[in-house]
Amino acid sequence: SAVISQKPSRDICQRGTSLTIQCQVDSQVTMMFWYRQQPGQSLTLIATANQGSEATYESGFVIDKFPISRPNLTFSTLTVSNMSPEDSSIYLCSVEDRKTSYEQYFGPGTRLTVT
């Protein structure tokens, strides 16, 4: 499976600021996704990062709050804008292995704390 890295691995940020998280894959992939995992909860899909076009957001998530870039088939960024303590969470990117029917593989995650 693809090797996925994320930067930063963790950060502590002040409310009102923004943080951009990077996701790098070691091979070209068609589908990349961004998830959030709040403390004690399971994963919630934020959006699908589409290469060359706007991301597809899930209900409850908007582009102004979570802008996403996908400039090529190996890289994507997620920005958490105008942060509040409620944004404290783990943010994970994932890629889909098209050869094996929707199996997704996850990056190590970015642990964000907003104070």
Q: Contact residues for another protein (CB under 8 A)?
A: 1, 31, 33, 41-45, 48, 58, 92, 96, 100-109, 111
Nearest distance, CB of residue 16 and another protein, angstroms:
27
Looking at residue 102, its amino acid is Y
Residue among 14 and 42 whose Cβ is closer to another protein: 42
What's the rounded Cα separation, in Å, for the pair 68 and 112?
A: 17
> Closest distance between another protein and the C-beta of residue 37, in Å?
9
Q: Which is nearer to another protein, 18 or 44 (CB)?
A: 44
Strands 43-49 and 32-37: what pairing? antiparallel
Backbone angles phi, psi at 50, to 5 degrees: -100, 130
User: Closer CB to another protein, residue 75 or residue 105?
Assistant: 105
CB 78 within 8 A of CB 32: no
